[in-house]
Amino acid sequence: MHEIRIAKDLSEIVLGVASREKLSRVTKVNISFGQMIQIVPDIFDFAFRETVRDTIATDAAIDIEILPVRMKCKDCKEEFNIDNNAFSCTRCGSSDLDIIQGKELFIKSIEGE
């Protein structure tokens, strides 16, 4: 369950930013995960809440966005989203691909007062 480690790392970032910005309370955290990170949102949400328990982010709402896997064919330059784990170009069938989206893991925004 890598969600626990990710939650711990992201909670440290959230609390660090909140401290630097002199927030008295974090009200919402918006997070994006690429689909290839294979995060389970409910497990992440639970783990994050545990890591921020008894902090200024205890009651923060968590908004998780899952970004689809997007590829670019090196042969024909077609860009497409992966469906049903079919890792081949939708235009020419090539499997010589670059991942252009789907491995991200970042905090989009932190809201507070």
Q: Quick one: pLDDT at residue 85?
A: 80
Q: Quick one: pLDDT at residue 83?
A: 83
Q: Is residue 84 part of a domain?
A: no
Per-residue pLDDT, averaged over 9-16, amounts to: 97
Q: Quick one: pLDDT at residue 61?
A: 96
Tens digit of each residue's pLDDT (9 = 90 or more) over 59-106: 999 999 999 999 999 999 999 999 888 899 999 999 999 999 999 999
Q: How far is CA 45 from CA 4, 13, 98, in A?
A: 9, 16, 30
Q: Is residue 75 part of a domain?
A: no
Tokens matching residue 32: 């994006």
Residues 6+ apart with CB under 8 A from 112: 18, 21, 23, 24, 25, 26, 27, 28, 56, 60
Q: How many domains does the chain have?
A: 1
List the domain range (segments joined by +) for residue 45.
2-68+102-112
Per-residue pLDDT, averaged over 33-48, amounts to: 95
Q: Is residue 10 part of a domain?
A: yes
Instruction: Count CB-CB contacts under 10 A for residue 65.
Output: 12
- In this prediction the pTM is 0.85
